[in-house]
Amino acid sequence: MIDLNLILDQTKSIAKEAGAFIRRERQVFDISKVESKGLNDMVSYVDKEAEKIIVGKLSEILPEAGFITEEGTKSDETKAYTWIIDPLDGTTNFIHGIPIFCVSIGLMKDQEIVLGVVYEINFHECFYALKGHGAYCNDTKIKVSQSPSLSECLVATGFPYSAFESIDEYLAILKTLMQKTHGLRRLGSAAADLCYVACGRMDAYFEYNLNSYDVAAGSLIVQEAGGRVTDFKQDDDFIFGREILASNGLVHAEFWQELQQHWKVKK
């Protein structure tokens, strides 16, 4: 029988080990070693090597699990248990020396995320959750904020870097939110955004054109901290549906109403 509590402890250690490697490499990083995967989509040897560390260690603790990985170290998403990994969420920040980037590791069982670990490398903050057992940061239980209305919220988002076909709709949403909230923040790491909602630093977060490895771990952490996570249709297709709306729950319906004023629901 699989002991998820034990696996969680091991996963936290693996995330911190990969994070320590990334932190060391940042001190000597040469931007000329950056590769391009597509328009404004960058990768370095640090992403790739960190992913190899993570996949190798996770394969030892749960040999029967499959993998979905950003850098393609291993892909086998048909298993009952599947690891969903972003070895360096916030690569652009890392490349430019901006100190918000994370290791993100989620474990999916039969299409449901049951374990999530996000290690924010620069601040040494390890956010984690098991389904049904609450959410934590460095062993302290965390909860979402209690802001009751959008007018009292600080909102996180991400800017599109390649999928610009919806940019006018997105900018219209930003214009509305600028006038109806405490402000907007773009941290450059979806994993960090979600964890900041989970611990109450942010009240809500939305973004489109995301991948499963961007949100798998963080979405569970938000839910276990008492928040709500949906896609832009208020359905549950936020892991693979490429769009996410996460909030403290209290403002979710109000936020969604504002979103729908401008966003065309994708069929």
| pLDDT per position as a tens digit, 224-262 | 999 999 999 999 999 999 999 999 999 999 999 999 988
Number of domains in the chain: 2
User: Which residues make Cβ contacts (< 8 Å) with residue 124, sequence separation at least 6?
Assistant: 138
Residue 175, pLDDT above cutoff 80 = yes
| pLDDT per position as a tens digit, 80-103 | 999 999 999 999 999 999 999 999
Q: Binning pLDDT at 50, 70 and 90, where does residue 152 land?
A: very high
Q: What is the pTM of this model?
A: 0.94
Type of residue found at 38: G
Type of residue found at 178: M
Domain identity same for 18 and 121: yes
- Residue 27 backbone dihedrals phi, psi, to 5 degrees: -70, -25
Three-state helix/strand/coil letters over 102-149: EEEEEEEECCEEEEEEEEECCCCEEEEEECCCCEEECCEEECCCCCCC
CA–chain centroid gap for 6, Å, is: 23
Residue 77, pLDDT above cutoff 50 = yes
Of 89, 123, 142, which marks where a domain is finished? 142
Rounded CA gap, 39 and 37, in Å? Answer: 7
Domain that includes residue 18, residue range: 4-142
Average pLDDT value for the chain: 92
Domain identity same for 10 and 134: yes
| pLDDT per position as a tens digit, 25-63 | 999 887 777 776 554 455 788 999 999 999 999 999 999
- Tell me if residue 67 falls in helix, strand or coil: strand
Nearest to 25 by CA among 121, 126, 123: 121
Does residue 77 contact residue 55 with C-beta atoms inside 8 Å? no
Q: Binning pLDDT at 50, 70 and 90, where does residue 165 land?
A: confident
Evaluate whether residue 221 is within a structural domain.
yes
State the DSSP code for 71: T
Domain identity same for 51 and 104: yes
Does residue 193 contact residue 205 with C-beta atoms inside 8 Å? yes
| pLDDT per position as a tens digit, 116-151 | 999 999 999 999 999 999 999 999 999 999 999 999
Of 81, 111, 142, which marks where a domain is finished? 142
CA–chain centroid gap for 136, Å, is: 15
Domain identity same for 29 and 48: yes
